[in-house]
Amino acid sequence: MLKTISILGYLAMVGGLVALLATGRVLSPSPIVIALQALATALMIWARITFGRRSFHLAANPTEGGLVTTGPYRHIRHPIYTGMCLLTAVGAAAHWGWITAGLTSLVFGAGVARMLCEERLLIQRYPDYQAYAGKTWRMVPYLF
């Protein structure tokens, strides 16, 4: 059941972001938005590089090779989802409206659902995950 929810979460996150892009509600000519979205993209790339050659799984399957606790994972457990949510949030702030709010909520809600599923699966796979989770934040230090 966790894997199914994680797949639906991933599809909803990507679908929400694609819908925001298709309706012109993510990108902005504002230098502040561009800078924050560049930082979000850099965070996602840094996390992916730190994660290494491990394959991507549509379902939140923990990969072989041990728990990654270096790079951005030293401070936050889900830097790729954090980057995607930051990219979406600052774009949405620049184009606020009901449709934007709904699609942004979809991206965030689906991301949180996927993170929670992924964490449950990681606890099952890696016994040291709980200790790691006790020392790091899911997305935003000192908040969540």
| pTM (predicted TM-score) | 0.89
The structural domain count of the chain equals 1
Alpha helices in the chain (DSSP H): 2-22, 31-51, 79-94, 98-125, 129-135
Give the range of the structural domain holding residue 41, as residue numbers without chain letter: 2-54+65-135
Token pair belonging to 137: 């934040």
Q: Is 75 contained in some domain?
A: yes
Query: Residue 44 falls within a domain, yes or no?
Result: yes
Q: Does the pLDDT of residue 86 top 90, yes or no?
A: yes
pLDDT class of 55 with cuts at 50, 70, 90: low
pLDDT at 56 > cutoff 80: no
Q: Is residue 143 situated within a structural domain?
A: no
Q: What residues are paired with 137 via a beta bridge?
A: 76
Phi-psi category of residue 142: left, alpha or beta, with phi > 0 → left and psi -120 to 50 → alpha:
left
Residue tagged 């991206």 (tokens) = 107
- The maximal CA–CA distance of the chain, rounded, in angstroms, is 46
User: Is residue 88 in some structural domain?
Assistant: yes
Would 142 be classed as within a structural domain?
Answer: no
Q: What is the mean pLDDT of residues 93-118?
A: 93
Residue 115 lies in a domain: yes
In a domain, 105, yes or no: yes
CA distance 70 to 105: 30
pLDDT at 103 exceeding the cut of 90: yes
